[in-house]
Amino acid sequence: MKCLETERMLDAYVDGELGPAESAAFEEHLGKCAACSHRLADRELVGRLVRQTPYYSAPDRLRVSVLRARKRSMFTPRLLAMAATVALAASLGGVMAVRTVRSRHAVEVTTSIAEDVVGGHVRALMGTHLFDVRSTDQHTVKPWFLGKLDFSPPVADLASSGFPLVGGRLDYIAGRPVAALVYQRRQHTINVFIWPMQEREAPFDARSVRGFQVQHWTRGGMSFWAVSDLNEAELGEFARSLQR
- In this predicted model, what pLDDT tens digit does every residue of 93-132 receive, in sequence order? 554 544 444 455 557 878 999 999 999 999 999 977 899 9
Contact 56, 89 (CB under 8 A): no
Per-residue pLDDT tens digits for 11-64: 888 788 888 888 888 888 877 877 777 777 777 766 665 565 565 566 777 667
Both 123 and 85 in a single domain? Answer: no
Question: Which residue segment(s) compose the domain that 23 sits in?
Answer: 3-103
SS3 content of the chain, % helix, strand, coil (to 5): 50, 20, 25
* Judgement on whether residues 222 and 204 belong to the same structural domain of the protein: yes
d(CA 170, CA 180): 6
What pLDDT score was predicted for residue 40?
Answer: 77
In terms of domains, do 214 and 237 share one? Answer: yes
Are 119 and 222 in a shared domain? yes
DSSP 79-120: HHHHHHHHHHHHHHHHHHHHHHHHHHHHHHHHHHHHHHHHHH
Which of 103, 124, 139 marks a domain boundary? 103
User: Does residue 191 share a domain with residue 124?
Assistant: yes
Q: 117 with 200, same domain?
A: yes
pLDDT grade for 82, boundaries at 50, 70 and 90: low
Number of folded domains that form the chain: 2
Same domain, yes or no: 94 and 136 = no
The reply to whether 65 and 183 lie within a common domain is: no
Q: What angle do CA 46, 47, 53 make, to 5 degrees?
A: 90
Digit-coded pLDDT (tens) for 135-177? 999 999 999 999 999 999 999 999 999 999 999 999 999 889 9
One domain, residues 218 and 168:
yes
DSSP alpha helix (H) spans, 127-155: 138-144
124 and 233 in a common domain? yes
Residues 6+ apart with CB under 8 A from 136: 157, 159, 164, 165, 166
How far apart CA 207 and CA 194 sit, in angstroms, is: 18
Residues 92, 115: one domain? Answer: no
